[in-house]
Structure 1
Amino acid sequence: MPFHPPSWVPQLPFDPPDSIPISDFMLDENHGRHPLGYAQNPFTCGLTGKTYSSLEVKERVDYLARGLAKELGFHPNKGSEWDKVIAVFSVNTLDTIPLAWATHRLGGIQTPANAAYSAAELEYQLKNSNAKALFTCVPLLETAREAAKKCNIPDNRIYILEVPEKFAGKPTPEGMKTVDDFIRDGQKLDRLEPLKWEAGDGAKKTAFLCYSSGTSGLPKGVMISHRNVIANTLQINTFEKPNRDKMINDLRNQTDYTENVLGLLPMSHIYGLVVISHASIYRGDGVIVLPKFEFTATLQAIQDHKIGSLFLVPPIIILMTKNTKVLAQYDLSSVWSIFTGAAPLGQESAEELQKIFPTWKIRQGYGLTETCTVVTSSSPDDIWFGSSGSLLPGIECKIVTVEGNEVTGYDQPGELLVKSPAVVLGYLNNDKANTETFQDGYMRTGDEAVVRKAPSGNEHVFIVDRIKELIKVQGHQVAPAELEAHLLAHPAVNDCAVIQIPNEKTGEVPKAFVVKSPSIGLEENDRVIAREIQKHVENHKARYKWISGGIEFVDEIPKSPSGKILRRLLRDREKEKRRKAGSKL
C-alpha cells in the first residue's frame, strides 16, 4: 500500500508551476515567496560580513545574465539548454547561486562539481556535461585549468567566483574575469528579452546537472528540471509552515518570522543546493555562507550572525559532542534547531547532543539527488530519534520486498520507492540506469526502509540499511565501482572489491579487498604493498575517496554466476568480525 504524509501536514498551496524558470520563482513575488523587501539578506559571507539585500541580488542576477549572454553568445530563446551548460567548480561563495539563476534566466544549465575533486574527476564531469565555460575560485584554479585543458575549454572561458582574500591566500590573477566584471558589463547592456516558455517547459528542461552514483556504478549526470527544484522548495516550506506560524504566534506583535541559517554545506551537493540555498531564501531567511568547514570559524559565525538553524551532517554533530569545552567558548544561544541529512544520524549521537543543548530541536531528513532532495523530514513538534521523519506534502512512497511484494504494514522492511513532483528527469545518456531506477512513476532509492508509528501517532520512515552499493563519507557519495576500476590499474592488483565500513568521524570509509597479482612474490611484505596501493588512490582521487578503511588481501572476490561482485557477503563478513571484536559501530 502507498504511504502518504500524516494528516497534520498541509497540502501544497498550489501546483508547482511548470512554465517558469527557477530564477523567476525565486526572484519574483508572484509565486508565494517571502516579499523581497522584507526578507533577510539572502547571502552573507560568514567570514567578512559582506552581504547583498534581496533586491540587490535580483539586480545582480539580471546584470550577470546580460553579461553572460554577450560573453558566451547565449540567447534566452535560441538553442536548447544543452547548448548553454556552465560548470561551477568552487567552494561556496556569495555568487554561486545567483550565477545559477543568471544561467537559468538564459535558459541554460548549471552543473556544479564537488570542490574536493581531482583534475581527473573534474575532467570527467566537464566532458560528460559538455560544459561551455567553467567558473572556479582562486584556491582551485590550478586544478580547474588542468581539467579544462583536457576538455578543450580555453583559458578565456575560465572565470572566477570571488572568495575572501584571507581564505584564498592570494588575489585574483590579473586579466581573469570575475562575476563582478560580468555585472559591470551587464549594466551597460540592453535588457534581455523574456524567456518564451510554454506550459510544461519548466518540467521538461534541465536546470541543474548534478552528479550522483545513483544506486550503483560510476557517477552519472542527474537531470534536475526547473519544476523539480520549485516543487521541493514548495514541499519543504509547506511542511515547515505550521511550525513557522506557531513561532510567529509566540512572538508578540509580529506578523512574520525569518532567521539566519548556516550555509556551510557545499552548494554543489543537492542538500546545500536546494534545502539551504533555495528553500531558505524562498521563505525569507538569510544564508550565512562559509567556504569550508573549520570548527571554530563555524562557531564564530553562529555567534556573530545569531544563526537560528544549523544545517549539518552527522560527522560534524559527532565532532560537536566530543568537543564540549570548545562549544562552551561561544554564544550559541540563538540556535533553536539543527537539521541533519546526507547520511543517517544515530540515536545515540542525537541523545548526546540533546544532553549538551536540551532546548535544541534535533531534526533529521532523508532525500537523494534523484528526488531533488527532501522526501521525509522531522517536524520540530514530532521528533523521534533514529527516524528520518514523515513524508512531505505531495509525496507518496511504497516499500517493496526483495521478492517484489508490496509491504502493507508497519515494521516490514523493503526497498523504498518514491513518487513526487520533485523526482528528477533521469540520468544523462544512460538508458540502462534510467530503466533500473525510474519505474512506473516511482524512483527506486536502493535504500531499505520501514515505516513505524511514532508515539505521536504519526507515521515515520526509518532508513535501516542500504541495498545500493553507495558509500557515504561525510555526506559525499563514493562509488565502489569507480575505486575498483582505479585499483585494478595497479600492477599488484589482480582482482578487488570495495565496501563501506563504519567510521566514528566520517560515518563510513571505503575498505578494499584485494586479490594480489601472481607477479607478487611471497616474500614481499603485505603492509608495503597495501600502502603502495593506497597511495595509488591518494595520488588520483579526492581525499574522501581514499581507502581509509584499509586493504585486506584475500584469495578470491565473491561473485554471482553472472560475474557481479557480491559486496553484501563482504559487508556481512566485516560486520561479524566487528561484532566478535566487541565494536559498537
Structure 2
Amino acid sequence: MTFTAPSWVPELPFDPPDGIPIADFMLEEHYGRHPLGYSKSPFTCGLTGKHYSSLEVKERVDYLARGLAKEFGWSPNEGSEWDKVVAVFSVNALDTLPLAWATHRLGGIQSPVNAAYSAAELEYQLKDSGAKALFTCIPLLKAAQEAAQKVGIPSNRIYILEVPEKFAGGKSSPSGMKTVDDLIREGQKLDRLEPLNWEPGHGAKRTAFLCYSSGTSGLPKGVMISHKNVIANTLQIAVYDKPYRDTKRLPTEQTDYTDVALGLLPMSHIYGLVVICHASVYRGDGVIVLPKFDFTTFLESVQRFKINSLFLVPPIIILMTKNKSVLDKYDLSSVWSIFTGAAPLGKETAEDLQKIFPSWAIRQGYGLTETCTVVCSSSPDDIWFGSSGSLLPAVECKIVTTEGVEITGYDQPGELLVKSPSVVLGYLHNEKANKETFQDGYMRTGDEAVIRKGPLGHEHVFIVDRIKELIKVKGHQVAPAELEAHLLTHPAVNDCAVIQVPDDDAGEVPKAFIVKSPAVGLEENDRMVARQIQKHVEEHKARYKWIKGGIEFIDVIPKSPSGKILRRFLRDKERESRRAKGAKL
C-alpha cells in the first residue's frame, strides 16, 4: 500500500524545475519565490543586528560568484561540478548561504562540514570530497589549517567567513588571508559572468551540496544532493505550510504572510540548511543567525528580534521545560510556532512545553539527509503529540516488514521507504551503500514506522524505532562504526561495539562494550582503563561523539557468522540492565 499526503494538502503548483541552479530558484521571482522587495532580510546576525536586504543578498551573490571565478580560474560552463568543490568549515555566518549560491552560480559544489569536527574528521571529509578550497572562521582556523595541510590544500586556498568579533574573541582575519568580503569587493570590479548553459535535466543530475551522513549504517558518506532535490523540498515545505500561513495574512498586507525564524541550528546540517535557510528565505521570511547555542543569547534574540518560529531540536526543548523560571524573564510573546526535528520529541516533553506556552503550535517533522530533509511534518491545524505529522506533497511512502512484505493497514510497524523528488542522487564513492539504500525508486530509511489515523481523520507518521545503527546526540549523527574503528586503535581494546543509550540532555549518547586486550594486566583497575579509553576518544573526536554513556567490559562481542556485530543483542542487554536498575529505557 502506498501512502501519500492527506487530501487537505495542496498539490505542487508546478514540477520542481530541473534545468536551473539553486541560486536562480532562490534569487529570482520566476518560480513562486516571495517578491524580493517585499521579503524580510534573509539573514540577520543575532549578536550584532547586521543584515542585508534580499536585493542586496542577490547582488552580493553575483559579485561573489565573479570573485570566485577570478580567484580559482573557474568558468560557469567549463568542467564538471567535481572540479569546483568548496568545503565550508564554520559556525553559522551571514554569508554561509550566499557563498553556496555563488558557488552554484559557477556550477560548483558546496560541502558543509560540521563545526564540531576535529582536524582529523575535517581531513577525512576534505579528502573524500576532493575539496579545492576551504572557507572557515577565526575560531576554527587552526584546525582548518592543520587539516588542509594534510590533504594538500595550499594556505592561499583557505578563506575566512566573517563572524562577529565578540564570538571570534576579538580577533580579526590574519594578514594575507582573504575574506568573503574581499572576494565580493574584487568581484564588483569584474565583468558580469556568462549565464549557466544548462539544458532541462542538468539540475536533476548535478550535485549542489555534498553533505556527510552515516546513512543506515557504516562510516560517514558523502550524500550527493542535486539542485532539483533542494528546490523540490523547498517547494514541498512552502506548499504544505501555505494553507495555515494564509490564515495569518492581514487584509492590509500586499503579499503573503512572512515570518521571523530562528537560525540557530547548524547550517552544515541538512535541517538547518534546507528547512531554515532555503524554505524560510524562499517564502520571504527573515532568519536570525546565531553562531552557536547559548541559552541566554537564544532567549535574548527571541525577545530582541521578535522571532515568530523557533526551529529547535529536542535537547533544547527539554532545557526549556526544566527552566521555566529563566523563560519567565524574557518576552517570548512573538512566538507562535515551534518546529523540532533531527531526533524524536517525546509526547511528555511536548506536553510539558505546551503547559508553559499554551498558545504555541508545537510541531514535529521527520526527514533525512538522503531525502534532502522533510518527508512529513505537523500542520499547526493538526498537531498530534508523538507524531511526526503528515506526508508532504509529492511524497510517497511504503511500510515493509523485515521480510520485505508490504504492509497495507494502520498501526503495523515496518521499515519506512520514501519516494520523493527530493530523494538524493546517492552516496559518493559507495556503490554498495547505494544498492542497499536506494531501491526501485525508493529510499530505505532504516527507520521503523507506523501510519495511524489522527483525531481529525488524517494519516500521521510515527517513527517508533530505528532499524539502522545511527546514534543521535543532540541531533548530531554518530556512527558506531566510526567510534569502533577508533577504539580499536587503543592498545587496551581487543574488540568493541558501540550502541546508543538514553540521556536526558542529549537524547542519546554512545556507550562502548569493550573486550580488553590480553596485554592489560590483571592488576590494572577497570575504572582507570575505561578512563584511558574515554580520553583516547576525547583527544581525537568531536565532543558529541565522546563515550558519555560509559564503558562496560565484556568477554566477547556478539557477531553473526559473517562477522557483523549484532548490536541489537547488546541493546537488549542494556535495556534489561537498565530496567532491573529502574533507570530510563
Q: C-alpha distance in 1, partners of 2:398/2:247?
A: 31
Match of 1:222 in 2: 223
Which one-letter code corresponds to 2:542 in the other structure? Answer: A
CA deviations over 1:369-423 (Å, ceiling 9, x no partner): 0000000000000000000000000000000001110000001000000000000
Indicate whether 1:233 and 2:234 are aligned: yes
Post-superposition offset of 1:106: 0.2
Match of 2:581 in 1: 581
Post-superposition offset of 1:568: 0.4
Match of 2:275 in 1: 275
Match of 1:198 in 2: 199
Q: C-alpha distance in 1, partners of 2:580/2:310?
A: 38
Q: C-alpha distance in 2, partners of 1:462/1:378?
A: 11
Post-superposition offset of 1:575: 1.1
Match of 2:326 in 1: 326
Q: C-alpha distance in 1, partners of 2:498/2:269?
A: 23
Contact 2:321 2:353 in 1 (8 A): yes
CA deviations over 1:48-70 (Å, ceiling 9, x no partner): 00000000000000000000000
CA deviations over 1:310-346 (Å, ceiling 9, x no partner): 0000000000001111111110000000000000000
Matched residue of 1:304: which SS? helix
Matched residue of 2:380: which SS? coil
CA deviations over 1:539-568 (Å, ceiling 9, x no partner): 000000000000000000011111100000
Q: TM-score when scaled to structure 1? A: 0.99
Superposed, 1:74-89 pairs within 5 Å as: 74-89=74-89
Which one-letter code corresponds to 1:128 in the other structure? Answer: D
Contact 2:502 2:584 in 1 (8 A): no
Post-superposition offset of 1:155: 0.6
Which one-letter code corresponds to 1:168 in the other structure? Answer: A
The number of equivalent residue pairs is 583
Post-superposition offset of 1:448: 0.3
Q: C-alpha distance in 1, partners of 2:82/2:175?
A: 31
Match of 1:488 in 2: 488
Q: Percent identity?
A: 80
Which one-letter code corresponds to 2:252 in the other structure? Answer: N
Superposed, 1:26-45 pairs within 5 Å as: 26-45=26-45
Post-superposition offset of 1:152: 0.5
Match of 2:148 in 1: 148
Q: C-alpha distance in 1, partners of 2:366/2:351?
A: 19
Post-superposition offset of 1:579: 1.6
Indicate whether 1:21 and 2:21 are aligned: yes
Which one-letter code corresponds to 1:565 in the other structure? Answer: I
Match of 1:287 in 2: 287
Q: C-alpha distance in 2, partners of 1:132/1:561?
A: 43
Which one-letter code corresponds to 1:240 in the other structure? Answer: D
CA deviations over 1:514-556 (Å, ceiling 9, x no partner): 0000111211100000000000000000000000000000000
Q: C-alpha distance in 2, partners of 1:353/1:575?
A: 28
Superposed, 1:250-399 pairs within 5 Å as: 251-255=250-254, 256-399=256-399
Matched residue of 1:74: which SS? coil
CA deviations over 1:165-194 (Å, ceiling 9, x no partner): 011011111221001000100000000000
Match of 1:183 in 2: 184
Q: C-alpha distance in 1, partners of 2:471/2:358?
A: 32
CA deviations over 1:287-330 (Å, ceiling 9, x no partner): 00000000000100000000000000000000000111111111
Post-superposition offset of 1:258: 0.7
Which one-letter code corresponds to 1:144 in the other structure? Answer: A
Match of 2:550 in 1: 550
CA deviations over 1:415-452 (Å, ceiling 9, x no partner): 00000000000000100000000000000000000000
Match of 2:565 in 1: 565
Q: C-alpha distance in 2, partners of 1:537/1:191?
A: 49
Matched residue of 1:355: which SS? helix
Q: C-alpha distance in 1, partners of 2:252/2:270?
A: 37
Which one-letter code corresponds to 1:298 in the other structure? Answer: F
Which one-letter code corresponds to 1:236 in the other structure? Answer: I
Which one-letter code corresponds to 2:337 in the other structure? Answer: S
Post-superposition offset of 1:576: 1.5
Q: C-alpha distance in 2, partners of 1:542/1:519?
A: 28
Matched residue of 1:500: which SS? strand
Q: C-alpha distance in 2, partners of 1:280/1:580?
A: 47
Q: C-alpha distance in 2, partners of 1:297/1:577?
A: 40
Superposed, 1:154-169 pairs within 5 Å as: 154-169=154-169
Match of 1:535 in 2: 535
Matched residue of 1:166: which SS? coil
Which one-letter code corresponds to 1:568 in the other structure? Answer: R
Q: TM-score when scaled to structure 2? A: 0.99
Matched residue of 1:521: which SS? coil
Contact 2:363 2:383 in 1 (8 A): yes
Match of 2:429 in 1: 429
Post-superposition offset of 1:257: 1.1
Q: C-alpha distance in 1, partners of 2:253/2:114?
A: 41
Runs (4+) off by over 2 Å = 251-256
CA deviations over 1:123-144 (Å, ceiling 9, x no partner): 0000000000000000000000
Q: C-alpha distance in 2, partners of 1:103/1:253?
A: 39
CA deviations over 1:77-118 (Å, ceiling 9, x no partner): 000000000000000000000000000000000000000000
Match of 2:440 in 1: 440
Which one-letter code corresponds to 2:119 in the other structure? Answer: A
Contact 2:2 2:397 in 1 (8 A): yes
Post-superposition offset of 1:359: 0.3
Which one-letter code corresponds to 1:347 in the other structure? Answer: K
CA deviations over 1:12-61 (Å, ceiling 9, x no partner): 00000000000000000001000000000000000000000000000000
Q: C-alpha distance in 1, partners of 2:573/2:240?
A: 41
Q: C-alpha distance in 2, partners of 1:325/1:467?
A: 39
Match of 1:51 in 2: 51
Post-superposition offset of 1:157: 0.3
CA RMSD of aligned residues (A): 0.6
Q: C-alpha distance in 1, partners of 2:488/2:87?
A: 30
Post-superposition offset of 1:573: 1.0
Superposed, 1:128-143 pairs within 5 Å as: 128-143=128-143
Q: C-alpha distance in 2, partners of 1:114/1:53?
A: 27
Match of 1:464 in 2: 464
Indicate whether 1:405 and 2:405 are aligned: yes
Post-superposition offset of 1:253: 2.4
Q: C-alpha distance in 1, partners of 2:292/2:218?
A: 28
Q: C-alpha distance in 1, partners of 2:460/2:580?
A: 32
Q: C-alpha distance in 2, partners of 1:583/1:551?
A: 17
Q: C-alpha distance in 2, partners of 1:323/1:432?
A: 47
Post-superposition offset of 1:232: 0.1
Contact 2:43 2:94 in 1 (8 A): yes
Q: C-alpha distance in 1, partners of 2:22/2:540?
A: 36
Q: C-alpha distance in 1, partners of 2:356/2:110?
A: 40
Unaligned ranges ≥5, structure 1: none
